[in-house]
């Protein structure tokens, strides 16, 4: 794949060393969602709070059929020691794998900021069961991520895929429609006319409904 992968691209194939051993991505998680997230470095304050928060919600990600994978340009020995420190000092055992990157993966995925040396930015890749990248998010070093938003995104993607709908802002607490989802707009004049005055339709192009 030429250049940095984008939304809609297949996640590039790579063999990586992790705290759980060698893995082939995306093959390792084929048929399920996985969320790969990079952090600037081990033994840093914000990153530590993030790993703690991810692990606190790990069971919820697993319930949604998703795996977590961390990454930074650190040796696997550093990852192992940091994971031990978190368990010993914060009483939280990190159960998901962390990639020990030499820099090759970070370069491939566009995770190295030009002004940051070898430190990765806080990036997040959502990859679906077909190994397609569905979302990419970037955060600066000083801003920790919101893991509840990632759970919301994952649920939203799965509902959108299953019901062929779209997800409104701040769902499931949207200011207009609550936990309803958005129905795709009518694509022809007959359907547009039929939707006028229909329950759940503000107009033919703006309809919402509840899902089971």
- Which amino acids are annotated catalytic? 47
- Cα four-point dihedral sign 82, 87, 92, 97: positive
The answer for residues whose C-beta is within 8 angstroms of residue 22's C-beta and 6 or more apart is: 15, 16
Here the tokens at position 87 are 């368990």
Which ranges of 13-114 would DSSP assign to H, the alpha helix? 45-56, 58-63, 76-90, 104-109
Rg, C-alpha atoms of the chain: 20
The DSSP secondary-structure symbol of 112 reads: B
């Amino acid at each position: 794949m030429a250049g940095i992968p984008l939304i809609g691209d297949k996640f590039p194939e790579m063999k990586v060393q992790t705290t759980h051993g060698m893995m082939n991505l995306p093959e390792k998680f084929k048929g399920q969602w996985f969320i790969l997230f990079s952090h600037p470095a081990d033994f840093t304050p914000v990153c530590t709070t993030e790993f703690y928060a991810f692990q606190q919600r790990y069971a919820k990600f697993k319930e949604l059929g998703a795996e977590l994978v961390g990454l930074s340009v650190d040796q696997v020995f550093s990852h192992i020691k940091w994971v031990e420190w978190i368990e010993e000092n914060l009483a939280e055992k990190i159960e998901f794998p962390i990639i020990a990157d030499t820099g090759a993966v970070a370069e491939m995925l566009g995770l190295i900021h030009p002004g940051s040396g070898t430190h990765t930015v806080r990036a997040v890749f959502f990859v679906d069961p077909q190994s397609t990248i569905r979302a990419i998010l970037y955060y600066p070093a000083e801003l920790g991520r919101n893991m509840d938003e990632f759970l919301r995104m994952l649920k939203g993607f799965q509902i959108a895929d299953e019901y062929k709908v779209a997800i409104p802002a701040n769902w499931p607490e949207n200011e207009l429609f609550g936990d309803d989802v958005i129905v795709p707009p009518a694509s022809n004049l007959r359907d547009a006319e039929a939707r006028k005055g229909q329950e759940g339709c503000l107009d033919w192009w703006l309809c919402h409904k509840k899902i089971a």
